[in-house]
Every structure is written in structure tokens, then in C-alpha cells.
Amino acid sequence: MAPTVDAKARETEIDLLERAREVLPAGSFGNIALDLIIKEGHAGRVRDMSGNEYVDFLLGSGPMFIGHAHPDVTAAVQAQIPLGTTFFASNEAGIALAEDICAAMACADKLRYVSTGSEATLYAMRIARAHRKRDKILKFEGGYHGMSDYSLMSLAPKTLANYPQSDPSSAGIPARVRDEMLIAPFNDLDTVRSLISEYAEDLAGVIAEPFQRLIPPKPGFLEGLREITAEHGIPLIFDEIVTGFRFSYGGAQEFYGVTPDMCTLGKIIGGGFPLAAVVGSEELMSHFDAAAVDPDGFLPQIGTLSGNPVAAVAGRATLEVLRRPGAYERVNETGQRLMDGLAKALGDAGVAGQVVGVPPLFDVFFSDEPIVDYRATLRADTAKAKIFNDALRANGVLKGDSKFYVSLAHTDDDIALTLNAFSIAAKAVANA
């Protein structure tokens, strides 16, 4: 799997890493920080500049759901680029992709493009505020909704305060933002019901990852959340940047059978290019239309690259692949084989750990207690997780600190190599 590394190639890679430290804070783009530089990716694998090849479960943090350099996506992009890359005006590919998305997502009457998931969640919360004419948003502790001031509240709180108090997870956030975000525990419907009932008159909306990071919702939790918010007339926003078109073609809302008022989409819909969107009901999305709402309800939104045709054709090609018979069955079969193999490797090595998630998206927590919310994840052994991840990488498997993203492109050979790496990594944890 890992070829003999050419000394000159490794020297070049090391030189690039040193150059990066000169011009990039912490020597990275702010994403995953590894002492390697990816040179290329094809299907379910990537290769670094030293020549090492890895089965890739990072997948660009999820967008490459049908694999790297998929020929259909590549062909669509190559056909578009000579015609122009962006126009700051409507284009046919962007309109057609919007039609595809609105047909797929149960909550979607209309759509507005942005370029990043952070923008999408920011605008979704802004729509809720414009609609309800209230300021406060309820989110769930540990939930990730991008990099805006509001989204970063209690993403990784430094102190575990009493609910609904929020805690900034970044420097540079105005102190007053703390008062506008209410925090609730994921999967605790009684607490959520109590908080929403208490703050209903002040709440603009509720935002949630229907599958929070790696934590599945308990049976009835999303249904209860939908019931409570509807009872009080509070818009419910599902952040489906990760789950959209991954859990099923209709996203987590189809997978779990719960329809929000709005959702945010990203990653997969751009086919590996910068593209995201906020979608929702006609009533809510009308706030983007100055002719459809009162002046004080209008929400201006401008983005230089929003809906650009290159990303749109890549997204359309990706969705076309996913509509083919058997696509989701294959991803789920691949993921289930990996999850089962990981659980077996841990058991054979005598290591206490829980494989948490669903076949397209999972990981292991080194803990013997149920992982039901953010605070439970804090009690997992992160030192063991690092040993495990380092051993995987040394044996030809690449992933982030958390999450295995499974793709349609992963092959039987990829699975076999990964299962062998699981066995080696589990033994490394046992022997540490």
C-alpha cells in the first residue's frame, strides 16, 4: 500500500511544510494539520507528495462522496470552464441544480445559494430572526454550524455551564452574543421542551444537526423537537451540511422522517467545489425577495461566487450519480462492513470502545458509556483515539481526528486494507 518513499520526493514535501510555516499560521489552512501534503486523489484513495498512498476516509471533510476525480464530474467541469467560471448573474446550471435540490428535500420550496456552510447557517438563523422579529436562537451543545460568532457559541465550551447559558468557543466574539444564543443538551427532549416553553416569546428559531457530529438522535427526539417548535410557531432549522444527500438522497430529513422548516446544505451539492445553500418553505424564503415582504422584513444577500456554474455543474453531475440504482445501498453496505470490522477488531484486542454513527459516517469512542450528547464525548479517552488514528495512518488509512466518511468509490480492496489496519491499530491501543 505504502510504496518505498523516494528520498527526493520526501525532501520536497518537507521543504513545502517548512514554507507553509513561514506564510500560514500554524503552517496550515486551518483545517486538518498533518505533516504531509496531499498531491492527488482518485476514487477512494489519495497520495501524498512523498508517494505514500492512503485509503481516504477524510474525503475533503465529506464533499467527495462519490470519490475523487470522478470522471462524470471532471467531464462536466471541463466542459464548463471554457464557457466561463463565474458571472455574478444567474446561469442555467445553477437554476437546474436548484430544481434538483428542491425536488429532493422535503422542506425545500425555494433555495438561495452561498459559497460556504458557515454562510448558509448564518443566513438560516438570520431568516428566522427576520421572520419572527426576535433575536434569540436555541442550538445544541457541541453542535457545529460553521464559523460565525453565533454558531461558535458552545461548540466546545471551556466550562460546562448550566443550560441554557452559552460559552464562546473562540476569541474575538462580542460578549453580547452570549445573550442571544441559548444552549440545550442534544437528545434530552424534556430539557429542550422546558427551555423552549420558557423562552418561546424570545426565540427566533431552533437550529440542530439532526445527526449531531457523530451522535445519532434517540428514537423520538427529532419528532419531539419538530412537535415542540411547531406548537410554538418557531422555525426549526436542520443543519444538513454534512447529512444532506449522504444519509439518503433526501437527506437526514428523509432518513429520519422529520421535516424542518429550513435546512442548510453544502459539501456534496458542490461536487468538490465551493457551494452551499439555505433552502426552506416559500414563506421563510420570501424574506430574500424585496417585492414579497415589508421593507423591514427584507434580507439582502450577495455573494460573488454564489451559484457559480462550475460548482453547479459539478453538483449536478454528483447528484446524477447518486440517483443511479444501488448507489446508497452500496455506500451503506461498505460502511456497515467497516463498522462491523472495527467493532470486531476492538473486541479481539480486548479494547473498550464504541463504534458510533451510521454506515456513511461513523467513528469509535474509547469509552464504556453510551455516547448520547456532547458531554458524554468528553469522557471518552482521546489519548487512545490518537494512538488509534496514528496507527491507521501508518498502515495506509487516512482520516481526521474524528469521523470516517465513507464514499461510493471505496472498493473491496480498500475495505480489506482498512480492516487489516483496524486490527493493527486496535492492538496498538491495547498495548499502549
289 pLDDT band (50/70/90 cuts)?
very high
Average pLDDT (123-139) is 98
pLDDT at 5: 67
Cell 435546512 belongs to 263
Q: Which of 56, 100, 188, 239 is catalytic?
A: 239
Was domain 7-69+328-431 assigned CATH 3.40.50.2000? no
Query: Is there a contact between 313 and 84 (Cβ–Cβ < 8 Å)?
Result: no
Q: E strands, 61-188, where?
A: 110-114, 136-140, 181-184
Which residues contact residue 339 at a Cβ distance below 8 angstroms, ignoring those fewer than 6 apart?
355, 357, 359, 362
Provide the 3-class DSSP secondary structure of residue 253.
helix
Active site residue 239: yes
Rounded CA-CA distance 96/411 in Å is: 31
Average pLDDT (57-83) is 98
Q: Which of 267, 384, 399, 403 is catalytic?
A: 267
Average pLDDT (59-68) is 98
Q: What is the pLDDT of residues 361-383, one digit of tens each?
A: 999 999 999 999 999 999 999 99
Average pLDDT (26-36) is 87
34 pLDDT band (50/70/90 cuts)?
confident
What grid cell was written down for 221? 427526539
Query: Is there a contact between 259 and 107 (Cβ–Cβ < 8 Å)?
Result: yes
Average pLDDT (23-37) is 88
Cell 428514537 belongs to 219
Fold of 71-322: Aspartate Aminotransferase; domain 2 (3.40.640)
1 pLDDT band (50/70/90 cuts)?
very low
pLDDT at 35: 86
User: Each residue of 399-432: b (16+ CB within 10 Å) or e?
Assistant: bbebbbbbbbbbeeebbebbbbbbbbbbbbbeee
Q: Which of 54, 113, 123, 144 is catalytic?
A: 144
Q: What percent of the chain has pLDDT over 90?
A: 94
Active site residue 54: no
pLDDT at 2: 47
The chain-wide mean pLDDT, for the chain, equals 96
Q: What percent of the chain has pLDDT over 70?
A: 99
What grid cell was written down for 342? 472495527
At position 385, the amino acid (one-letter code) is A
Q: What is the pTM of this model?
A: 0.96
Active site residue 144: yes
Q: Where are the domains of the chain?
A: 7-69+328-431, 71-322
What grid cell was written down for 320? 446524477
Does residue 290 surpass a pLDDT of 50? yes
Query: Is there a contact between 56 and 46 (Cβ–Cβ < 8 Å)?
Result: yes
